[in-house]
Amino acid sequence: MKGIIFTDFLEMVESMYGLQVVDTIIENSQLPSEGIYTSVGTYSFNEMLSLLTNLSAEVNTPASDLIYALGLYLFDGLSKSHPEVIESYSSPIDLLYAIEDHIHVHVKKLYPGAELPSFKILEKSDTSIVMIYSSSRGLYRLEQGLIEKTFEHFNGKCSLSYEVLKEDGTEVKFDIVHDAY
């Protein structure tokens, strides 16, 4: 997993819960990296799982809710770091439609070796999109947060529902409708 996810995760934890909680979860996680991350480095996904598990216990919040919060947080960081990617789209639906063929191509150039989820578009209109998220990591709640922030970025809102197609969350169908302004 790319280091930018770890650095943004720890920034989010600090902003939400304070530096002491960051120190506590790093200490309790017994990390090979010792919790020292660079945005361009690559780290074991197991380290993220350990950090999430320990944060969940520390703040008494389900891990899935923390993953969702990370998705919300990540969008802002990514949009500030790479505004040119987002600025090339005029609507959230268009941006979501381009994830696989444009945005992920750009991400792979910036972060070689990044293991990204895949998205298969089933239906698209000007106001809705239905897509299948697939990832061995099952972080569909992170995607939910990213999707919602995408609409917020374009000064809109969406009605989002999802259906977990595989019990472990590695395949999820998202049905997203752009709400009227």
- pLDDT tens per residue across span 61-93: 999 999 999 999 999 888 887 788 888 899 999
Q: How far apart are CA 22 and CA 150, in angstroms?
A: 27
User: What is the H or E stretch that residue 128 is in?
Assistant: strand 128-134
Residues 21-47: tens digit of each pLDDT: 999 999 999 999 999 999 888 999 999
Position 37 scores a pLDDT of 96
* Secondary structure of residue 30 in the 3-state scheme: coil
* β-strand partners of 110: none
Q: With the C-alpha atoms ordered 31, 134, 158, 150, is the resulting torsion angle positive or negative?
A: positive
Q: How confident is the model at residue 20 (pLDDT cuts 50, 70, 90)?
A: very high
Residue 180 pLDDT > 80, yes or no? Answer: no
Burial bucket for residue 80 (CB in 10 Å: 0-12, 13-18, 19+):
exposed
The pLDDT assigned to 129 comes to: 97
Lowest mean pLDDT: which of 4-8, 106-110, 123-127, 156-160? Answer: 106-110
Please say if the pLDDT value at position 174 is more than 90. yes
Provide the pLDDT for residue 181. Answer: 56
- 56 burial level (CB within 10 Å; 0-12, 13-18, 19+): middle
Q: How many whole angstroms separate alpha carbon 8 and alpha carbon 37?
A: 10
Q: For 104-137, what is each residue's pLDDT tens digit? A: 887 778 777 778 899 999 999 999 999 999 999 9
- Euclidean distance between CA atoms 145 and 148, whole angstroms: 5
Does the global pTM surpass 0.75? yes
d(CA 11, CA 17): 10
The structure tokens listed for 61 are 């919040």
- Sequence letter at residue 6: F
